[in-house]
Amino acid sequence: MPQVNFITAFRYSTSQEAYDKINAYFLNEGGNILSDIVSGQVVSYDTMIYIDEGVVNPDFDFGNTFGYRAQKWNSLVNNYIDGDALEDLKDRIKARQSKNNKHYNESMRFSNNHNHGKNCLLSLTITQRANEPRPILSFTLRSSEITKRLLMDLLLVQRIGEEMFDIPCKFQVQVINMYQDVEAFCMLDSYKSIKGMILRAKGHKKTPYQKKVLKVLKKFKTIDIDKVKYKVHKRCVRQLQRPEGIPLSGDRPMYAKDLKL
């Protein structure tokens, strides 16, 4: 018989919990995930994420954590959301609601308007089920870098749900390829201590991946930025090195609550 590839599945209460715990899972369970630690990534294929309430912490600061600016969010919205397609979806949902339909499925494709876009967000289906009080937003990610990108994608879909409904929606997220990059992951230390996230079984040493993460984190926090070769690594250093508590990139907050469609 042919080999069957089983899907990895997670369930969380909120989008924020999903983001926090998936990043911690990759850090602590890297040895149990299909991984490529040599190139600095841990990769998981065919993952399903079930979220009871698609809600990001409104006070999560994308600016302080990753150095994002407003144009990052605007670029994401403009690339993936076609205004006409979104309005058409809203009209179809309203029509269903006006008829008091208890069960329906309505879908929308995400756009990829920029030439440099990577088609990471593919499609969205909004489902109402007779036995489920919350609408379900099911969407597919071709690929997701889980530290810098996943939470912003979850927030984008949350905003779409808010356009249609006055209650938080449930999420069902299919991620064909998701990965954690060591250097990008280190930036999360400004939001939550990576050392505090590390779990070890009693009597066991840190895993090779955990050791690599801590090594890169220490390097980025102490190195002279002028000696950093790669631009993407300099970005990490600018967020992690914080003389007087302010990142080298500057103090420019960008809270989730301020990011709208």
Please state, in angstroms and rounded to a whole number, the distance separating the CA atoms of residues 28 and 199.
Answer: 6
Domain 8-258 has CATH 1.10.287: no
Please state, in angstroms and rounded to a whole number, the distance separating the CA atoms of residues 237 and 94.
Answer: 48
Per-residue pLDDT at 180 = 94
Per-residue pLDDT at 41 = 85
Residue 34 pLDDT level (bands cut at 50, 70, 90): low
Higher pLDDT, 36 or 61: 61
Over the chain, what is the mean pLDDT?
91
Please state, in angstroms and rounded to a whole number, the distance separating the CA atoms of residues 143 and 173.
Answer: 12
State the angle between helix axes of 231-240 and 208-222 in degrees (0 to 180), rounded to the nearest 10: 80
Rounded mean pLDDT of 130-139? 94
Residue 112 pLDDT level (bands cut at 50, 70, 90): confident
Q: Among 260, 261, 259, which Cα is nearest to 68's?
A: 259
Higher pLDDT, 202 or 199: 199
Rounded mean pLDDT of 26-43? 76
Within 15-168, residue ranges assigned H as helices are 15-28, 62-66, 70-80, 83-98, 150-164
Rounded mean pLDDT of 26-36? 78
pLDDT reading at 37 higher than 80: no
pLDDT reading at 116 higher than 70: no
